[in-house]
């Protein structure tokens, strides 16, 4: 499993405002960690209908980019580390342009923009 993989993950049981149910997610943890750990860190996706506004920490990804039936919003403000037993299916690996949108959302959510020498990814 590599960074950028689109997976179906069983996120239940959820608590409070956590994202519930089995839904697509993007792996955002490092490949080295993914190889040796029993867990992976993911950003859940939520489907969008019609013309959805782009949000800084919830970038939009097209169905073409993800291989999913609907366009999605990457919930970079709902990052979770899950046991690999929760993974139900691997769909595909995102291209770098789609991962850059997620990376930017994560940088903004965790307020890490100032820690990069060259600023945010384009």
- Express each pLDDT in 9-59 by its tens digit: 999 998 888 888 999 999 999 999 999 999 999 999 999 876 767 788 999
d(CA 17, CA 6): 23
Among 63, 74, 67, CA closest to 92: 67
The domain total for the chain is 1
Asked whether residue 11 is domain-assigned, the answer is yes
Residue 77 in contact with residue 35, Cβ under 8 Å?
no
Asked whether residue 117 is domain-assigned, the answer is no
Give the pLDDT score at 118. 54
57: domain CATH number?
A: 2.30.30.110
Contacts of 79 (CB under 8 A, 6+ apart): 28, 41, 42, 43, 106, 109
Element (H, E) at 72: strand 72-74
**Domain with 88 in it:** 5-112
- The reply to whether the predicted model has a pTM over 0.75 is yes
């Amino acid at each position: 499993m590599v960074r950028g993989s689109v997976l179906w993950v069983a996120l239940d049981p959820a608590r409070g405002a956590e994202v519930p149910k089995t839904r697509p997610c993007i792996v955002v943890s490092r490949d080295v960690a993914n190889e040796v750990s029993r867990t992976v860190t993911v950003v859940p996706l939520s489907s969008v209908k019609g013309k959805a506004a782009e949000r800084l920490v919830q970038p939009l990804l097209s169905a073409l980019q993800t291989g999913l039936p609907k366009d999605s919003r990457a919930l970079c403000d709902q990052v979770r580390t899950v046991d690999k037993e929760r993974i139900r299916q691997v769909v595909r690996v995102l291209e770098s342009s789609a991962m850059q949108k997620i990376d930017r959302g994560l940088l903004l959510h965790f307020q890490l923009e100032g820690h990069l020498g060259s600023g945010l990814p384009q």
